[in-house]
């Protein structure tokens, strides 16, 4: 496992080390001790989540508020997505900034998303299976979100707007400047 700082404070790329031969491959997708050594973060992941989506599906930008905030370790098991995070921490040097990264089954890269970030992704391949660990349990009353096409964030999602497929809930999310956090 190798870690790489990103342009956003406390947000890390994790590059997995594969061992492969004619039988296939093996890799350790997470090791708490190694992660703590490399990042200084001591996390207890409590839940794993997985979704499957078709091309154009955009899930996000979502977050959990207050004591129910969640850190996430995300990766793609099959297919390819554009993964996007936005720093919502008002005291952070990267507040209001976003990061976009392509994650795929071939990239062998994971993204660590700290608490206080909004997160979303759009599927770029025919389908994608997305997997993530969280360090806090989901709490419906603490969920929040930001409209994916917020003009202040100006996120390039990598596909034409007419190809984006949203849930009804995601169509009515507020804009970044409307957040009270």
Q: What is the pLDDT of residues 121-133, one digit of tens each?
A: 999 999 999 999 9
**What residues are labeled active site?**
62, 132
pTM, entire model: 0.93
User: How distant, in Å, are the alpha carbons of 27, 29, 141 from that of 22?
Assistant: 15, 20, 49
Please indicate, yes or no, if residue 155 is contained in any of the structural domains: yes
Asked whether residue 180 carries a pLDDT value surpassing 70, the answer given is no
What's the mean per-residue pLDDT of the chain? 95
CA 102/CA 107 separation, integer angstroms: 8
Range of the domain at 152: 44-178
User: How many structural domains is the chain composed of?
Assistant: 1
Asked whether residue 33 carries a pLDDT value surpassing 90, the answer given is yes
Residues 6+ apart with CB under 8 A from 102: 80, 81, 82, 83, 124, 158
Please indicate, yes or no, if residue 170 is contained in any of the structural domains: yes
pLDDT, residue 17, reads 84
CA 168/CA 166 separation, integer angstroms: 6
- The pLDDT tens digits for 101-155 are 999 999 989 999 999 999 999 999 999 999 999 999 999 999 999 999 999 999 9
pLDDT, residue 45, reads 96
Please indicate, yes or no, if residue 106 is contained in any of the structural domains: yes
- The pLDDT tens digits for 34-65 are 999 999 999 999 999 999 999 999 999 999 99
Asked whether residue 11 carries a pLDDT value surpassing 70, the answer given is yes
Asked whether residue 22 carries a pLDDT value surpassing 70, the answer given is yes
CATH of the domain at 128: 2.60.120.10
pLDDT, residue 28, reads 87
CA 176/CA 181 separation, integer angstroms: 10
């Amino acid at each position: 496992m190798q870690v790489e700082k990103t342009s956003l404070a406390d947000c890390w790329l994790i590059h997995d080390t594969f061992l492969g031969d004619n039988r296939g491959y093996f890799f350790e997708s997470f090791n708490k001790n190694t992660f703590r050594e490399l990042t200084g973060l001591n996390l207890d992941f409590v839940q794993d989540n997985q979704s499957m989506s078709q091309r154009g599906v955009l899930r996000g930008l979502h977050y959990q508020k207050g004591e129910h905030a969640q850190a996430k370790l995300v990766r793609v098991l099959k297919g390819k997505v554009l993964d996007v995070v936005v720093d919502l921490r008002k005291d952070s040097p990267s507040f209001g900034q976003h990061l976009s990264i392509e994650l795929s089954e071939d990239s062998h890269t994971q993204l660590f998303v700290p608490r206080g970030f909004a997160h979303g992704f759009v599927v770029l391949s025919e389908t994608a299976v997305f997997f993530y660990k969280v360090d806090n349990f989901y709490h419906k009353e603490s969920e929040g979100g930001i409209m994916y096409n917020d003009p202040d964030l100006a996120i390039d999602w990598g596909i034409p707007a007419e190809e984006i497929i949203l849930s009804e809930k995601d169509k009515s999310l507020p804009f970044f400047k409307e957040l009270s956090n």
